[in-house]
Chain A
């Protein structure tokens, strides 16, 4: 920032080579604003051009070097002094010298590791960004460009249902069942609640999705509980032998994949909370953790053919199994 009309400054623009074709994803910033950012995956190359435009075309820009960095870092809101960069790559664009006119520099970070998903939470933030720095004696000029990273998973090999009998002795016994323990972000929770014994006057029943963010270690541990969704599944008083179905579509809610011990700094976990409320507003509840994962939307060229087929596996109907067998036969 230069208030004086003498002295030189420059405007830095970062333009990706695949800006036309690369998808963008929505991401919330720390102050709650939602914006679109370029979407990258683990192993993707980050390449583009840096345009440095001199603000005062007549003067030269003296500098101590121009460089671009690709950084992945975790910011703990209560501990911003400390730096937790888990990815840090740098490329020198120019040796110390001077710029006599506006210039464009090419850069490429090849097959960059991006092991974690970008996340903005209540006490922690994980972000990836490019940063161009023009070093100068008194004050550097820099520009940052954030990108969003999604981590994809394959359909889990083992995905058992959750089925349990719970209750209060002699008062209320229920058996609840959820069809899976691992759900992808656009999945549907299909389940049922079966009443075995009902000696209290139930007024209604709902299912909540709770997000729990745990940050920090040792003495500085922060827990944030957030109820992401409240969905009523029953209105009225059930009796013994009744079965209440559950069908909860996840796509409408603001959820992320389950994250466990990210760089040993934080975790984000999701729980289904089944709540029964009686005539006198008393609440009876049972919480159960579920694992959320992100499914790839498109078949990516970098995946092997096997992996490509696996990512398209249908969840029902036998005609699709025939298609799968057909595709495998073709391979041979």
Chain B
């Protein structure tokens, strides 16, 4: 006696629009951290990194942007996000205080391999954070990524899409 046979045919779905299928995806977001440059002299030297962003996400005001930031700017961004958003913020590459001590055999925090390590870590950090839907709502992230300079006296706020 035949048992009941379940109907496993696929549910009906609308055929996909060809523009949607072959057009650029709506989730395009590319962030590169590159071109480290050490500015200043002596004890007041510091390294800045170029942050290049390309996107088609409507939440970003500029579809392409290029800014320079230093490590302490990243620390500021991380602190703002931890305080204001519910995001579990990923860690930054190390602060390397020991490298800032005198009498080292190498260039300390201006050592090429250290800068490269840090650059890679900062890039990883930004990609993780900028893709987070909740972080994208924070004014501080957009100011960090796209404004000419970071105004640490700003008023924290949330961004709403137009």
Contacts and interface: CB of A to CB of B under 8 A. Distances in A.
B103 to A, nearest CB: 40
Interface string A193-236: 01001111100000000000000000000000000000000000
Interface stretch (B6-14, B42-50, B149-157): B6-14
Interface in B83-141: 127-128, 131-133, 136
Interface stretch (B17-25, B32-40, B66-74): B17-25
Interface residues of B, number: 29
A247 B26 contact: no
Nearest to A297: B3
A298 B151 CA distance: 75
A191 interface: yes
Nearest to B16: A241
A241 B29 CA distance: 20
B161 A179 contact: no
A170 B161 contact: yes
Given A168-B133, A170-B161, A190-B7, A237 B26 contact: no
A194 B20 contact: no
A242 interface: yes
B161 A245 contact: no
Nearest to B127: A280
A259 B17 CA distance: 44
A302 interface: no
B8 A188 contact: yes
Contacts of A171: 133, 136
Interface of B: 3-11, 13-14, 16-17, 20-21, 25-27, 29, 57-59, 127-128, 131-133, 136, 161
24 contacts: A170-B59, A179-B11, A190-B11, A191-B11, A192-B10, A198-B25, A198-B26, A199-B57, A200-B27, A200-B133, A201-B27, A239-B20, A241-B14, A242-B20, A242-B21, A243-B13, A245-B11, A247-B8, A247-B10, A280-B128, A280-B131, A280-B132, A282-B132, A315-B5
Given A190-B10, A241-B20, 7 more contacts: A171-B133, A188-B8, A190-B9, A240-B26, A241-B21, A242-B21, A243-B13
